[in-house]
Amino acid sequence: MVSVINTVDTSHEDMIHDAQMDYYGTRLATCSSDRSVKIFDVKNGGQILVADLRGHEGPVWQVGWAHPMYGNMVASCSYDRKVIIWKEENGTWDKMYEYTGHDSSVNSLCWAPHEFGLILTCGSSDGAISLLTHTGDGQWEVKKISNAHTIGCNAVSWAPAVLPGSLVDQPSGQKPNYIKRFVSGGCDNLVKLWKEEDGQWKEDQKLEAHSDWVRDVAWAPSIGLPTSTIASCSQDGRVFIWTCDDPAGNAWTHKLLHKFSDVVWHVSWSITGNILAVSGGDNKVSLWKENVDGQWVCISDVNKGQGAVSGITEGQQNEQ
């Protein structure tokens, strides 16, 4: 069951390219081709414009909230090749940092899990991926993976902070030894996994299945199982679910979720990691869930935000 509980009229003057809620689901950040980033307070179905952030000189593609332990911060990336980190202090939003290290449109950004510190990853059409790490004194240390995806990286998504092979939290008090990983997708049709080793970022895996630009990738939140799951979607209309049970993270297999008739722009996991929202070029959003047999079934088509969740059987699904 999908029911609209709030309609936010953004007053953007051009296409909206991203809309993200904060950690608590009470504030909304939007960005648009009109070059602005807007922050709304949407508590209890309301909509109060908190900030209208100007600073980009091109369409703003994505916004992302940092974890609240670092304060109220939103990062935005734009066609103007810039990444801007905005921060609220004393109720006022301001530009806190501007990164201009990319040579082309910055298409995607993703904050690392807060356990790793304040790290922002950006993927650009120049093919590179940047990692900006806040070093505590207002400085940001930049690491760059050049030529990560030829002619452009379209999406980046961090792996959840889980310890390899551990289901339970590390006993408190000791610094857990997390492995930092993220996934990226690009115009080379590839999905790539990156891993930090000795402070250096290295290509860990190259996942090939798509036959056209990978439009988005999303690493599923950890649901306590040792399996890693990634969703990727592409210009070719396909959405793949990649899984890896291997603790070393080497044996990835993929399963086709569905082949859509149009480009698939965006995939997003629910917080609990069991539902995938797929947004396609036909302006359709559908929700998918894995059934007990391991098959992915569409449980809802969301049109204009409305939809009924149903248990579509496999047979019906195949007909679609």
Asked if residue 13 binds other proteins (CB under 8 A), the reply is yes
Tokens of 6: 């709030």
**Best CA proximity match to 252, nearest among 270, 231, 267:** 231
Asked if residue 11 binds other proteins (CB under 8 A), the reply is yes
Tally of CB atoms within 10 A around 306: 12
- List strands edge to edge, sheet with 200-208: 153-158, 181-186, 190-197, 200-208
Tokens of 149: 């995806």
Chain positions 244 to 283 lying near other proteins, rule: CB under 8 A, are 265-266, 268-272, 275, 277-281, 283
Stretch that binds other proteins, among 132-140, 177-185, 238-246, 247-255 (CB under 8 A): 132-140
Asked if residue 16 binds other proteins (CB under 8 A), the reply is yes
* CB contact set of 55 (below 8 Å; sequence gap of 6+): 82, 84, 95, 98
Chain centroid, CA 110 distance in Å? 6
| Residue of 49, 52, 54, 150 that binds other proteins (CB under 8 A) | 150
CB of 159 to other proteins, least distance (A): 17
| Residue of 120, 159, 298, 299 that binds other proteins (CB under 8 A) | 299
Asked if residue 198 binds other proteins (CB under 8 A), the reply is no
| Amino acid code (one letter) for 276 | L
Asked if residue 24 binds other proteins (CB under 8 A), the reply is yes
Tokens of 230: 């990634």
| Residue of 54, 250, 253, 305 that binds other proteins (CB under 8 A) | 305
Asked if residue 293 binds other proteins (CB under 8 A), the reply is no
CA separation for the pair 53, 121 (Å, rounded) = 21
Q: Which is nearer to other proteins, 248 or 256 (CB)?
A: 256
Asked if residue 291 binds other proteins (CB under 8 A), the reply is no
3-state SS assignment for residue 135: coil
Q: Cα-atom radius of gyration of the chain, to the nearest Å?
A: 19
Chain positions 63 to 92 lying near other proteins, rule: CB under 8 A, are 66, 68-73, 79, 81, 87-91
Q: Which is nearer to other proteins, 248 or 304 (CB)?
A: 304
Asked if residue 231 binds other proteins (CB under 8 A), the reply is no
Asked if residue 175 binds other proteins (CB under 8 A), the reply is yes
* CB contact set of 204 (below 8 Å; sequence gap of 6+): 181, 192, 193, 194, 195, 249
Asked if residue 200 binds other proteins (CB under 8 A), the reply is no
